[in-house]
Structure 1
């Protein structure tokens, strides 16, 4: 009897361990989708006249409002902690939303950040207050824009224009829609990890697609 128990334990435990770790991997590589179909930024125009879209890009989305000079500290934080770490990844961009008429202030902010990093993937977009509100509301977060159309929160939007975040933040116990750019600790401890998870998810997806394509190509040759 003891022999069968030992054999059973030796057989069952590895299966349980495998299922446990497999579940952990699946949780790790999938950053939850909180909102599907974030509004596209087609109604906004950029600082340099180039076309900017959320579709097909991994985007850090922010709202600098009518007084971007007051948001310089936030911009510096996300530039140093997030942008400099990830901007070389393919299809990664920062999109900062401002009301019409803030071009001069955006240029000044860009000049101040330029000595610190390559600003190639910093995108400043301008639009009407109504369009800014519609874009923000499409996130369906639990936050609100300030009166000047700004918020200290920045958001992660994936290539399919879905808002990504945490369904249960370990500190607040609530859904984490965006990250407080005034908090270096939150950027370090949470946002960096979440972007890593999203990038890992896309890498695994690419690897899977490449494997499938190679297999299909091999099968065609056999025919």
Structure 2
């Protein structure tokens, strides 16, 4: 009986170890910085004239362009799999860059988003197409905006205005952003990476508070 127990342990241990590490590679390291100094949003305003900043926030940065309705499916994927799970985390925000003149379309989308979760941290900001292009170019990715100043890819920006992503992704190599059209990519890769960066900041805050108590 003892012999079979030992054999069972020897058989199961490598499998258990593999599943443990394979399911959580990103959980044991910080999410890599791919681009530093992403351009701040100084040339953009919300509908009520306020500014939004990347600095000191964990931001999901999106580019919905002139044809907002064509991004509905992307927005709903993000709302269900990313926003709904994380929007109450302090300093977490969605920022969507859109051209001036689509305010009515944005209001319709925000109404639809209320059916999923309180959209208080969905921040739509408006600016000129040239300003949108400048921010997009500052990400230094291998993606491009279309003629409507839109992209299906969404990006994780940290509190220091650095683009975070994967530098050794099993499918893409360097993964700068996540294709919001692909539900599985948002539900798996992006959701995992958001957990990693939020855990990183939780740990940093915990260490900071511990030092203050000493």
Q: Offset of 1:178 from its aligned partner?
A: 0.2
Match status 1:178 vs 2:177: yes
2:46 is aligned to 46
Contact 2:31 2:164 in 1 (8 A): yes
Deviation per CA, 1:137-187, whole angstroms, max 9, x where unpaired?
Answer: 000011010111100000000111110000011122x20000000111001
Contact 1:47 1:123 in 2 (8 A): no
Per the TM alignment, residue 207 of structure 1 is displaced from its structure 2 partner at its CA by 1.6
C-alpha deviation, 1:121, in angstroms: 0.2
Select between 105-114 and 176-185 the one with higher mean Cα deviation.
105-114
Tell me how many residue pairs correspond in the alignment.
Answer: 192
Q: Normalized against structure 2, the TM-score is what? A: 0.86
CA RMSD across the alignment = 1.7
Counting only pairs closer than 5 Å after superposition, residues 140-219 of structure 1 correspond to structure 2 as 140-172=140-172, 174-215=173-214
Residue 31 of structure 2 corresponds to residue 36 of structure 1: no
- SS of the equivalent of 1:168 reads strand
Distance 1:27 1:49 in 2: 39
Q: Which has the larger radius of gyration?
A: 1
Note if contact 2:27-2:196 (Cα within 8 Å) is conserved in structure 1: no
What residue in structure 2 maps to residue 111 of structure 1? 111
Question: Equivalent residue of 2:34, what SS?
Answer: strand
What is the CA deviation profile of residues 86-132 of structure 1, one whole-angstrom value per residue up to 9, with x for unaligned ones? 00100110001101111111111111111221010000011011100
| Contact 1:29 1:198 survives alignment (8 Å) | no
* Bigger Cα displacement from structure 2, 50-59 vs 119-128: 50-59
Structure 2, unaligned runs of 5 or more: 1-20
The structure in which a higher percent of residues are helix is 1
The Cα offsets for residues 3-44 of structure 1, whole Å up to 9 and x where unpaired, read as xxxxxxxxxxxxxxxxxx9xx999724000000011010110
CA distance in 2, matches of 1:162, 1:152: 20
Structure 1 runs (4+) deviating above 4 angstroms are: 24-27
Q: Distance in 1 between matches of 2:164 and 2:71?
A: 23
TM-score, normalization by structure 1: 0.82
CA distance in 1, matches of 2:53, 2:88: 18
Segments of structure 1 that go 5 or more residues without pairing to the other structure are: 1-20, 216-223
Worse-superposed segment, 104-113 or 59-68:
104-113
CA deviations 1:51-84 (Å, max 9, x no partner) are 3111111000000011011111101110111100
